[in-house]
Structure 1
């Protein structure tokens, strides 16, 4: 199969994005239904844990940090004052520590929450994707290649990080923390989450290049300008998918589409 069959990297980036979204969102919802919401309540509720869940793949790592620019990128569509209050609440619950430079780290209590959250995600993905073990393993391996490729491009000083002017959401959460013994389901879930942020950065770079802000792009109606931004997003998001051959892209798409949820 050749790229002319419709699996060129930029076209594949457009095809795979909604499939990644579906699988990731379904697994995270299964986590909430399967124990994550109850776990959160034991630690103080979403006011104490919401940011930890979002930033889990870096803050769960020993010594893992998310700097101020990374946090701003992850929350680029939210009101900054609301985000500051959210951080303050996490500080009040002693779940995170904020360094003098604004970087966030998990406290001992926050790290304990994240260790339990990883276990919940291991259990729910095993149940959600039961009967698809070989497929999940293939997907986790391929997603690992994609995240590694995206990290390589991010480290290239000549590469546009896709930050939209506020830092990189992708590098705030990647490489995902993968403790020894992490299940294929957890690896896949967190690698897909990182890839979603990679595309989010590509989208932010595309709308910023077109002169938009977070507020204006949200209000932009469908039409030629939005379609042009989406095409530019696909181009910017395509880089990692170049590491897969067209047949591998097709297998990745088919395997992901076959997962329940």
Structure 2
């Protein structure tokens, strides 16, 4: 059951994450542009970097699917490498704290939208938030190197439930990402090969292994709680107000 659940909940989590990232993009770009900057590594990892320095090896693994030049990432002066870790500079912390406020306000706007009385709106956020926190705690045992490097996430004392859910879901996604990297590396593939791999038995085997490695984190929830998590996240609006 946990393996099947891991497969089913993944696109639901991804939909919430991707839709929020898409919704904040114009305002975050404007926030940076007013400072003569463009978003970089610091915005990809802001939820972790606002809390603690992140090991360079974990960042390299996190960025394995994209061209990544550490020197270029460091050049704008928002992040720096110190003693084998990436950390925010003063200006980097300033801009990412402001970006976090954009994420929080946008999440509140999107997820409070109820085009139908059957949609729970922010009640769904309240329902799933403690469940996601339990998954993050369980992930300290079941997660891989990137998950463990990028948790815990920054949670200011005045953060709204929507703000907390945003950063906690961001962290939870790394649990599966670690599982996927382990699956294709275990199959003897390179990053170029996994990105080029077409649908078929080999791809299915890697996805099955990914589900197997991701599944243990969900064992901390009982069947009813898994349904609450799946249904609550699935009920969150994803930008209909912007169409």
TM-score (norm 1): 0.84
Q: For residue 141 of structure 1, what is the aligned residue in structure 2?
A: 130
Q: Deviations over 1:172-211 (max 9, x none)?
A: 3211111111111111111111121111110111111111
Q: For residue 208 of structure 1, what is the aligned residue in structure 2?
A: 185
Q: Deviations over 1:95-126 (max 9, x none)?
A: 1121143x111011100011101111111111
Q: For residue 254 of structure 1, what is the aligned residue in structure 2?
A: 231
Question: Does the 8 Å CA contact 1:147/1:195 hold for their aligned counterparts?
Answer: yes
Question: Does the 8 Å CA contact 2:50/2:153 hold for their aligned counterparts?
Answer: no
**Alpha-carbon separation, structure 2, partners of 1:209 and 1:228:** 11
Of the candidates 75, 81, 86, which is equivalent to residue 98 of structure 1?
81
Q: For residue 5 of structure 1, what is the aligned residue in structure 2?
A: none
Of the candidates 73, 76, 79, which is equivalent to residue 64 of structure 2?
76
Specify the SS of the correspondent of 1:76: coil
Q: Deviations over 1:57-88 (max 9, x none)?
A: 12112xx2111111111111123xxx22xx33
Q: For residue 102 of structure 2, what is the aligned residue in structure 1?
A: 120
Specify the SS of the correspondent of 2:157: coil
1:56 aligns with 2:46: yes
Question: Does the 8 Å CA contact 2:53/2:87 hold for their aligned counterparts?
Answer: yes
Of the candidates 35, 39, 43, which is equivalent to residue 35 of structure 2?
43
**Alpha-carbon separation, structure 2, partners of 1:200 and 1:92:** 27
- Aligned residues between the structures: 231
Gaps of 5+ in 1: 1-7, 155-160, 162-167
Q: What are the equivalent positions in structure 2 for 1:226-237 lying under 5 Å apart? A: 226-237=203-214
Q: Where do 4+ consecutive residues of structure 1 move more than 3 Å?
A: none
Q: For residue 241 of structure 2, what is the aligned residue in structure 1?
A: none
Q: Aligned-residue CA RMSD in angstroms?
A: 1.4
Question: Does the 8 Å CA contact 2:6/2:211 hold for their aligned counterparts?
Answer: yes
1:25 aligns with 2:18: yes
Specify the SS of the correspondent of 1:129: helix
TM-score (norm 2): 0.90
Specify the SS of the correspondent of 1:77: coil
Query: How far off its partner does 1:133 sit?
Result: 1.7
